Structure 1
Amino acid sequence: MKKSIVSILFLVLLFSCQKKEEAVTPKDLNKNFENYKENFVTSLWELYPYWAANQGYHKLDSVLVVSDSVYRKRQLDFAHAHLDSLQNYPLKNLSDNNIIDFYMIQNQLKSSIFYINKLRSYEWNPAEYNVSGAFAEILNGKYDDLDVRLHNFNIKMNAIPAYYEAAKANIKNPTLEHTALAISQNLGGISVFEKDLIAALAKSKLSNAEKKEIRGKAKTAVNAIIVYTNWLKDLDNKTPRSFRLGSKLYAEKFDLDIQSSYSADTIFKKAVDHKKDLHGKMFALADTLWPKYMKSTPKPADKLQLIKMVIDKISLQHTTPAKFQSEIEKQIPELEAYVKEKDLLYIDPSKPLVVRKEPAYMAGVAGASISAPGPYDKNANTYYNVGSMSGWSAEKSESYLREYNDYILQILNIHEAIPGHYTQLVYSNQSPSLIKAIFGNGAMVEGWAVYTERMMLESGYKNSAEMWLMYYKWNLRTTCNAILDYSVHTKNMTKDEAMYLLINEAFQQQAEAEGKWSRVNLSQVQLSSYFTGYTEIYDFREMLKKEQGATFNLKQFHEKFLSYGSAPVKYIKELMLKEIKK
């Protein structure tokens, strides 16, 4: 009898397992995973409303998160819960695109845990606390009626005093560099609550009572910002944390942020080798150009000095501070026409690119950048933010313009605009995967922009020895970014050593080198993303060209590569190779 019961139980269990396996087919599992992703993103936005707004999701615009210990616990609970949920979706039964989404979600959740438990930048980076950007986007947005946006602006301001009180409670031993940045950017953002808000209210149809309420809260907001910056200025910080991460934290952050098939150590070694190769190519070009620019001047014995002398001469060809932005505006349609003429890839003419002066609340880190609309706000403007030289000395402006001379400025516009960041981000927003759009991989995004620089010159763009020499100089910057980033954060590279690398070996102007030193003080790993992504993309393309021979189509490669969205290069490569084999 006992044996019979056991046998029956075994059959029941076996039948149940078979039914379960039949019930959840790969098709069903992928459908379930699509539903999971949709619910996951909705929950993600509830936790990160400002991130949601950046992506064009504006249902939570009235919410300002107060980043206190309770909020950090919510973040950790969210990450752990969803890491558990992912275990319900075996990779072997997911589609190729869903496998990438799975990995990107998993990486994001692990990153959240790392940032809170190990990196702990909320304790040492006061610049993480700045409300101006979120409020500026509400004022500048085109996604809703102005009065609706101002109403959200009004409600959102309620949390500003608590926001800055939480910031003060979080900060323990801030770095001096991030403290200075926080003071500068927060004070720069006050105009959002004064001049910018006043201009918006003048156009508004809100009642006088609500306008008065908004103006009153804005004064409270400005006061909270001033109190915070004064608190930072007066902070008794006798033992400030070093801005350097150290080898262990850097390696872990590199793996999570970059998601490369290479380690941080490997990328550093590749960059050092690439620098040597670039120096060789640059010497050959500079030696050829010597008679044209240096006439009968005796050549120096030092090859790097010879390169520098030719570059310095060519760099005298540049625009003026007053015309810097207008020169960029003029070049954008020229680049677009060239890409179309050479049939390099399709560029959607309906997506606007607006060149603007870099907003004050963004100033202090990079000289040029792209602000693109998210996947929910695809019709909004893409902004090309151009740093201003207003208030600079004549000497500093001249140094900056020599760096961004007539040749380099064109390469910068290729990188930032067409067919670089702007073009890639338009494609990313058209990706069927929302996960890839919102978790965009920095190395792929930056790598694509760097790759397009070389690709454009290879296709014949402004082909000359001068342009190639300046391109190699520009590419040397990408290469030395990786060397600098790794060396500063893991090898204790000093400022003097960094300046020697940037000025003597990368041929950068003093102003540019100083700016890069400041940037590596304020960021970690991001400077390595350019070289890492570029190396992976270029090597992949060259591999396909070799394998496919005459059948290789450059435009098809570009459009197929970009169609996967801003996913890590290693996953795009895997999917493209899989499709080619079919």
Structure 2
Amino acid sequence: MAITRRTTLGWLTAGAASAPLLSACATAPVVPSGSDSAFGQIAAQWLDESLRLSPVAATGLGDHRFDHLVDDVSTAGRAAQVNLARSVLTRLDALPSEGLSRADQVDAALLRQNLRAQIWSDAELQSWAWDPLTYAATAGGALYSLQAREFAPLPDRLRSATARMRALPALLAESRRQLQPARVPEIHATTAVGQNRGLHSLVDGFTAEANALQGAEREALLSAAAQLKAAVDEHQRWLETELVPNARGNWRIGARLYDQKLAYALNSDLTRQEIVRRGERALADTRAQMYVLATRILAGRPGAPETPANPNADQQQHAIEAALELAYAEKPGRNAIVSTAEAMLEQTTAFVREKDLVTVPNDPIRIGLVPEFQRGVALAYCDAPGPLDRGQATYYKIAPLPEDWTDAQVDSFLREYNLRSMQELTIHEAMPGHYLQLAHSNRYPSVIRAVLGSGTFTEGWACYAQDVMAEAGYLGGEDLYQLVHLKWVLRMIANAMLDPAVHAGDMTRDQAIDLMVRGTFQQEREAAGKWTRAQLSSAQLPTYFVGWEEHWEARRAAERAWGSGFNLKRYHDGLLSFGSPPVRYARALLLDEAIPA
């Protein structure tokens, strides 16, 4: 499954939200709706100071005032961010909510949740001490955000890159001081080894463009590049000879931290126990639906397993597996995944327009390979621009197959991402999934709502969008496509069951692989990759399932409220018009319900 990666000021991930609405050349952010209110001033001042303290995030979010700077990852730098959070939270808690507009009530709730989470994360989770990937993301993002989009003339971006390349050796050195090898999990250390190497390709991308500068500026860029590459090599040696051999940390964060992190990540009352219970029910229901499809698909086929009306567990398993084999036989070529996705994007876009399911944006979108410094966590992701970088492209990125994979591993991967499964991936990441939803979100005029967008809303929407396409009869509504679609539903359910079981429990690799391979029909390469991802992240995998359920609950509420006035385009455009808050807030705004406390 995919991760939506966007630079954000949120505490939880290095990229799962929208971007702030700032003036491209402003010295201060534009205040949100209700600008005369005390909340508007608090929000604007928090955002301005936060962006100053997080220059790499600022670039990705669309504010280019700090493109020449990098983050201060030292103890003092973290303290400045936490002190800001405490100060703003004190002011926010003293603010009466009665006079706020409904929109400001939502934004105030999002800001309060984020500030509390940031303070908790620094003091309790302490990923700064044990997760080298946070530093890798900052270092890589500092360069990639200047390279990926043409938000300014190339010479200007090269000058910013020169300044950042000069600063990054100190950031890498500081990360070595902050990290405590005995607390670093081995899987995080080894993944950082691979990602750090990817910084070389980012630097080479700038040196290849050096002739866009002249004289002393060109020489300064080349000098900064050489110094950074030397620093990257030094950091690589430390990772390989010091960090990896001494990495002794437990990648399981434990029940106490997990429950706290999950509550912040979801902004929901759901506990992990309830999520697992819901997942178990959904898994059984979805497998039953898949069996019905399998019986139709296999009917009359020579050698097909028996499909009784009331199958036992083995009969259900064998029938679904046999039907899925027909989909696995139709695979993209090893080097044709990107071109396959491009063709499918045209197809899905045409279908959404034909069925008039939702307003389709005209924002540009490009499909390409995941940069080397971001590989090793997820197969694909959607990288959408901030709203101030309007006209810039959204990127639907897909990771290339590793060169060292055996033929059997390649075949396992391509069976999982067969032609119908690639349709599901493209729907999820692009149309009408993340690309479409984030393009709508970028148009909502709220600073806080954009910066602190909900991962549960965005991931839940992409999963719900897959349902909408299947429901509308995509690919003629054929049974085999519907079967593959339900397999993706099972993958989403498995995410929600796997994450708490490994981080708040003691699920082993064998148990996790069994859940994914036998329980939800995933191929070995997909299951192995998800096991790695489950170790490297926490509290993100359940966002798909929880958000999916919340989106369906919101739609059913709208159907009840609007009656004969309900139609999908009205509902979808309405819900997406509020940005990317948690679904319960968007639902309340759309249906004029009470704003959740």
- Unmatched 5+ residue regions in structure 1? 1-26
Task: Read off the aligned partner of 1:79 and give its amino acid letter.
Answer: A
The answer for the alignment partner of 1:475 in structure 2 is 489
The answer for the alignment partner of 1:98 in structure 2 is 104
1:452 corresponds, among 428, 453, 465, to 465
The answer for the alignment partner of 2:20 in structure 1 is none
The answer for the alignment partner of 1:9 in structure 2 is none
Give distance in 1, aligned partners of 2:454 and 2:109: 12
Instruction: Please identify, of 327-336 and 236-245, the stretch whose mean Cα deviation from structure 2 is larger.
Output: 236-245
Task: Read off the aligned partner of 1:189 and give its amino acid letter.
Answer: L
Question: Helix, strand or coil: the match of 2:396?
Answer: strand
Shift of 1:152: 1.3
Task: Read off the aligned partner of 1:373 and give its amino acid letter.
Answer: P
Give distance in 1, aligned partners of 2:159 and 2:491: 45
Question: Helix, strand or coil: the match of 2:400?
Answer: coil
Shift of 1:580: 11
Does the CA contact (< 8 Å) of 1:66 and 1:159 recur in 2? no
Instruction: Please identify, of 88-97 and 519-528, the stretch whose mean Cα deviation from structure 2 is larger.
Output: 88-97
Shift of 1:306: 2.2
Give distance in 2, aligned partners of 1:55 and 1:164: 23
Instruction: Please identify, of 138-147 and 434-443, the stretch whose mean Cα deviation from structure 2 is larger.
Output: 138-147
Task: Read off the aligned partner of 1:557 and give its amino acid letter.
Answer: Y
Shift of 1:435: 1.2
1:252 corresponds, among 260, 265, 270, to 260
1:233 corresponds, among 221, 231, 240, to 240
Give distance in 1, aligned partners of 2:36 and 2:258: 35
Give distance in 2, aligned partners of 1:145 and 1:68: 32
Shift of 1:298: 5.4
1:25-104 matches, within 5 Å, as 31-104=37-110
1:479-494 matches, within 5 Å, as 479-494=493-508
Give distance in 1, aligned partners of 2:589 and 2:305: 55
Give distance in 2, aligned partners of 1:35 and 1:127: 34
2:210 corresponds, among 201, 209, 226, to 201
1:153 corresponds, among 140, 161, 173, to 161
Asked if 1:575 is matched to 2:582, the reply is no
Asked if 1:561 is matched to 2:568, the reply is no
1:342 corresponds, among 355, 361, 365, to 355
- Cα-to-partner distance string for 1:141-174 (whole Å, 9 max, x where unaligned): 3111111111111122222222112111111121
Shift of 1:503: 0.3
Does the CA contact (< 8 Å) of 1:129 and 1:182 recur in 2? no
Give distance in 2, aligned partners of 1:573 and 1:414: 23
Give distance in 1, aligned partners of 2:446 and 2:302: 54
Task: Read off the aligned partner of 1:186 and give its amino acid letter.
Answer: N
1:115-134 matches, within 5 Å, as 115-130=121-136, 131-134=139-142
1:310 corresponds, among 319, 323, 334, to 323
Question: Helix, strand or coil: the match of 2:270?
Answer: coil
Q: What is the TM-score normalised by the length of structure 2?
A: 0.89
Q: Measured at CA, do residues 439 and 257 of structure 1 come closer, stay the same or move farther in structure 2, by a change above 3 Å?
A: same
1:383 corresponds, among 388, 392, 395, to 395
The answer for the alignment partner of 2:217 in structure 1 is 210
1:135-154 matches, within 5 Å, as 135-154=143-162
Q: Measured at CA, do residues 186 and 341 of structure 1 come closer, stay the same or move farther in structure 2, by a change above 3 Å?
A: same
Does the CA contact (< 8 Å) of 1:29 and 1:94 recur in 2? no
The answer for the alignment partner of 1:398 in structure 2 is 411
Shift of 1:208: 2.2
The answer for the alignment partner of 1:426 in structure 2 is 439
Does the CA contact (< 8 Å) of 1:293 and 1:310 recur in 2? no
Does the CA contact (< 8 Å) of 1:201 and 1:211 recur in 2? yes
Question: Helix, strand or coil: the match of 1:354?
Answer: strand
- Cα-to-partner distance string for 1:435-478 (whole Å, 9 max, x where unaligned): 11111100000000000111111111120111111111110000
Give distance in 2, aligned partners of 1:230 and 1:28: 52
Give distance in 1, aligned partners of 2:570 and 2:173: 53
Shift of 1:29: 8.1
Instruction: Please identify, of 267-276 and 506-515, the stretch whose mean Cα deviation from structure 2 is larger.
Output: 267-276
Q: Measured at CA, do residues 298 and 570 of structure 1 come closer, stay the same or move farther in structure 2, by a change above 3 Å?
A: closer
1:247-396 matches, within 5 Å, as 247-291=255-299, 293=301, 295=303, 301-349=314-362, 351-389=363-401, 391=403, 392-396=405-409
Does the CA contact (< 8 Å) of 1:373 and 1:380 recur in 2? yes
Shift of 1:128: 1.3
- Cα-to-partner distance string for 1:213-245 (whole Å, 9 max, x where unaligned): 221221111111121121121226556111111
- Cα-to-partner distance string for 1:336-369 (whole Å, 9 max, x where unaligned): 11111111111122x0001111111111111111
Does the CA contact (< 8 Å) of 2:306 and 2:315 recur in 1? no
Asked if 1:171 is matched to 2:183, the reply is no
- Cα-to-partner distance string for 1:273-316 (whole Å, 9 max, x where unaligned): 11011111111111222235554555695311221122123211
Does the CA contact (< 8 Å) of 2:428 and 2:434 recur in 1? yes
Instruction: Please identify, of 463-472 and 511-520, the stretch whose mean Cα deviation from structure 2 is larger.
Output: 463-472
Shift of 1:543: 2.8
Asked if 1:534 is matched to 2:548, the reply is yes
The answer for the alignment partner of 2:533 in structure 1 is 519
The answer for the alignment partner of 1:4 in structure 2 is none
Give distance in 1, aligned partners of 2:76 and 2:523: 47
Higher relative contact order (CA 8 A, sep 6+): 2
User: Aligned-residue CA RMSD in angstroms?
Assistant: 1.9
Question: Helix, strand or coil: the match of 2:252?
Answer: coil
Q: What is the TM-score normalised by the length of structure 1?
A: 0.91
**Percent identity over paired residues:** 30
- Cα-to-partner distance string for 1:84-119 (whole Å, 9 max, x where unaligned): 121343111100110111011111111111111000
Task: Read off the aligned partner of 2:370 and give its amino acid letter.
Answer: E
The answer for the alignment partner of 1:192 in structure 2 is 202
Task: Read off the aligned partner of 2:373 and give its amino acid letter.
Answer: Y
Give distance in 1, aligned partners of 2:264 and 2:510: 30
Instruction: Please identify, of 258-267 and 559-568, the stretch whose mean Cα deviation from structure 2 is larger.
Output: 258-267
Does the CA contact (< 8 Å) of 2:210 and 2:222 recur in 1? no
Shift of 1:412: 1.1
Give distance in 1, aligned partners of 2:304 and 2:230: 64
Give distance in 2, aligned partners of 1:28 and 1:174: 45
Question: Helix, strand or coil: the match of 1:380?
Answer: coil
Give distance in 2, aligned partners of 1:294 and 1:84: 71
Does the CA contact (< 8 Å) of 1:293 and 1:313 recur in 2? no
Give distance in 2, aligned partners of 1:46 and 1:580: 35
Shift of 1:579: 6.6
Give distance in 1, aligned partners of 2:562 and 2:429: 30
The answer for the alignment partner of 1:545 in structure 2 is 559
Give distance in 1, aligned partners of 2:125 and 2:536: 14
- Unmatched 5+ residue regions in structure 2? 1-32
Asked if 1:410 is matched to 2:416, the reply is no
Task: Read off the aligned partner of 1:198 and give its amino acid letter.
Answer: T
- Cα-to-partner distance string for 1:151-201 (whole Å, 9 max, x where unaligned): 11112222222211211111112110110111100102211112x122211
Does the CA contact (< 8 Å) of 2:587 and 2:593 recur in 1? no
Question: Helix, strand or coil: the match of 1:129?
Answer: helix
Q: Measured at CA, do residues 403 and 93 of structure 1 come closer, stay the same or move farther in structure 2, by a change above 3 Å?
A: same
Q: Larger radius of gyration, structure 1 or 2?
A: 1
Task: Read off the aligned partner of 2:585 and give its amino acid letter.
Answer: Y
